[in-house]
């Protein structure tokens, strides 16, 4: 398992929970033993794969935020490239991205990191189909908007209100699908000690294992994830590690 990470992800770029000081450090502290690599920023051509010129201009007017958002998209691109080459990877990135639509964004997001990564793989004909599992507390409306009506990309956001049913739903759904790669929008705000108050740390490890098994069974092991939500710094690092241990 490769962790894609850049020191600039620790910088406080906005006054929202995703940009809070100490959030990324809390995760890095728990990931001893994993190999880390640094990404480059995504180029404008990459971002244009999923976003309009007006939206890109809107984010550019944020100035400093635009630089960090480019770097987050670049982290997702690198994680996806590593997966295609046969190495499972996780983009430990911020800002998150699943609320970024082609021409708008909200919820601490600016560019849709996952969508950009998957779209570039398809454009480069490295894959034909993709499955995106999003277990964040919040529905990734941006990802759904970008891929809506596209039969080659499946977006799945489980919604069950009971812990075991949630995990079982993920397993059942993965058992019904096929794809050339699986990408995970990994939000950890559904944890029992975070906003969602539902899942345990062990559940994230279970879902990581489900992702690994799907990838081995359907797509030659190609799998990657990117960080979305998760805001309780006291448990966030342990949850991320549990997921990566299951997925590696």
- Could you list the active site residues? 99
Residue 126 token pair: 């490295």
- Residue 101, strand partner residues: 104
For residue 2, which of 243, 205, 224, 163 has the smallest C-alpha distance?
224
Which residue reads 């728990």 in tokens? 30
How many residues are present in the chain?
248
**Contact, 6 vs 75, CB < 8 A?**
yes
Taking each helix axis as running N to C, give the angle between helix 233-247 and helix 23-30, from 0 to 180 degrees, rounded to the nearest 10: 40
In degrees, rounded to 5, the angle at the alpha carbon of residue 10 between the alpha carbons of residues 186 and 5 is 55
Estimate the share of the chain in helix, then strand, then coil, as percent rounded to the nearest 5.
Answer: 45, 15, 40
For residue 224, which of 69, 104, 64, 87 has the smallest C-alpha distance?
87
């Amino acid at each position: 398992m490769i962790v894609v990470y850049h020191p600039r992800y620790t910088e406080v770029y906005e006054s929202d929970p995703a940009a809070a000081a100490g959030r990324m450090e809390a995760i890095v502290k728990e990931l001893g033993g994993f190999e880390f690599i640094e990404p480059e920023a995504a180029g404008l051509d990459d971002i244009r794969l999923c976003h309009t010129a007006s939206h890109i201009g809107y984010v550019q007017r944020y100035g400093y935020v635009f630089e960090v958002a480019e770097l987050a998209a670049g982290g997702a691109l690198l994680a996806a490239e590593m997966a295609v080459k046969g190495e499972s990877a996780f983009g430990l990135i911020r800002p998150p991205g699943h609320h970024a639509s082609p021409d708008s964004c909200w919820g601490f997001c600016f560019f849709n990191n996952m969508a950009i990564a998957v779209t570039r793989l398809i454009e480069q004909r490295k894959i034909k189909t993709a499955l995106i599992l999003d277990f964040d507390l919040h529905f990734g409306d941006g990802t759904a908007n970008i891929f809506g009506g596209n039969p080659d990309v499946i977006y799945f956001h489980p919604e069950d209100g009971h812990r075991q049913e949630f995990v079982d739903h993920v397993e059942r759904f993965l058992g019904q699908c096929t794809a050339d790669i699986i990408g995970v929008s990994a939000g950890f705000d559904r944890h029992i000690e975070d906003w969602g108050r539902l899942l345990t740390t062990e559940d994230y490890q279970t879902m990581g294992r489900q992702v690994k098994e799907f990838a081995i069974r359907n797509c030659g092991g190609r799998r990657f994830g990117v960080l979305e939500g998760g805001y309780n710094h006291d448990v966030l690092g342990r949850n991320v590690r549990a997921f990566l241990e299951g997925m590696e």
